[in-house]
Amino acid sequence: MGVGHHTRYVSAARQLVFGTPESSADAVGEIESEGFQQSYDILKREDMNYYGSAKAVVSKLYSEGQFSMALQPCNFTLMMLHGIMGIDTQGATGADLRTFSELAVSSNTQLPVFTFFVGRDDTEHIFPGQVIESISVSASIGEYAMMTVNTVGPKQSSSTGTLATVVPTYTGDAAHFQKAYVQFEGAASTSSYSALVQSVDFEIKTNRDIDNTYNLASDTCTRPAPPTMREISGSLTFHKALLSTEVSNEVYFDELMAGTGSLINPTGTDPALSILFEVDTNNFIRFDFNKLIYEMPETSVSGRDSQTMTVNFHALYDLGDQNQMMSINAKSSDGVADYDAL
């Protein structure tokens, strides 16, 4: 055990030049657990002179990161959300109100790149050039809402950095199940939500192509790993099997079984599914998915468990109305960070 948990941390900085790590962090997260690690491939030569390989070299070097934290509208969380969305728009009602939207199809702008600083008791480990591979969010009864972030990038630049004395600037709490609101075919709010949802989880994936970041004469990535096909999927669990006579806009068993109500694409600005995580009126994050297709529900009963219904969903590109798959609205009392990166 180290001298104190203040020497354990994950902080991040927007990286301006891909090959050059930043020297200090822009924000520090309240992280529950982390797992940043450098890896490399090994090339072994085989020839007929020996019965086993006699020569080998270290090949491509890269690093991957993973960390989990309670979902809260702090600067660190919003930096990560910007890292997977790309566009940060300040709202007209205040600098602390922001909308994150996806980069346009025709845009040449890159998604943000970060340097991560990881404090581990004795030294600071530095991982530059990291891009967001995926973000997962989950909420269930009796728990804090949780966010898990996965990153990928070039090799680690240092394992002997001087530890920083980092203190998070956000003083509020995280979102938990009592203030998690799910709404169907409309924006979720504290007064407009479904009372039937027991848990929700979803994952946003960019499917980075790490193999397409190397060139000859280099042992590690020379550019950010480009995103490929974006995938957004998740699941909803209801505390009962929903029938057509018992719901308003929630998806129900009969329409999904018939395949007639699987595709949901409201006209205008209404999302197909909206999930609000609120701490208070000045601190919240809302995820809006514009167009969804649902899978067949899964439901079962046993002698000691009550019946529930779980429905998986996939977000689709909303062509015409929103011209994106999702957007995020957030408000934070944690000052005004500069989320723009490389």
Residue 341 lies in a domain: no
| pLDDT tens track for 282-328 | 899 999 999 999 999 998 888 788 889 999 999 999 988 889 999 99
Containing structural domain, residue 127:
5-42+58-331
Residue 96 lies in a domain: yes
Q: Is 297 helix (H, G, I), strand (E, B) or coil?
A: coil
pLDDT at 1: 43
Residue 255 lies in a domain: yes
Range 37-70 burial, b when 16+ CB lie within 10 A, else e: ebeeeeeeeeeeeeeeeeeeeeebbbbbbebebb
Owner of token pair 């991982």: 127
Residue 336 lies in a domain: no
Strand partners, 127: 116
pTM of the model: 0.92
- 71 touches 144 (CB < 8 A): yes
Q: Which two tokens stand for residue 137?
A: 């969010």
Residue 282 lies in a domain: yes
CA dihedral over 17, 23, 29, 35, signed as positive or negative? positive
Q: Which two tokens stand for residue 167?
A: 């203190």
Residue 50 lies in a domain: no
Residue 233 lies in a domain: yes
**Which residues in the chain show pLDDT less than 70?**
1-5, 92-95, 105-108, 335-342
Size of the chain, expressed as the number of residues it contains: 342
Q: Which of 62, 45, 63 is nearest to 54 (CA)?
A: 45
In angstroms, rounded to a whole number, what is the distance separating the alpha carbons of residues 224 and 154?
8
pLDDT at 161: 87
In angstroms, rounded to a whole number, what is the distance separating the alpha carbons of residues 210 and 306?
45
In angstroms, rounded to a whole number, what is the distance separating the alpha carbons of residues 148 and 120?
19
Residue 9 lies in a domain: yes
Other beta carbons within 10 angstroms of residue 125's beta carbon come to 21
pLDDT at 334: 83
Q: Which two tokens stand for residue 228?
A: 């490929």
Secondary element (H or E) of residue 177: none
Q: Which two tokens stand for residue 222?
A: 């020379």
Q: Which of 175, 178, 172 is nearest to 142 (CA)?
A: 178
* Domains of the chain: total: 1
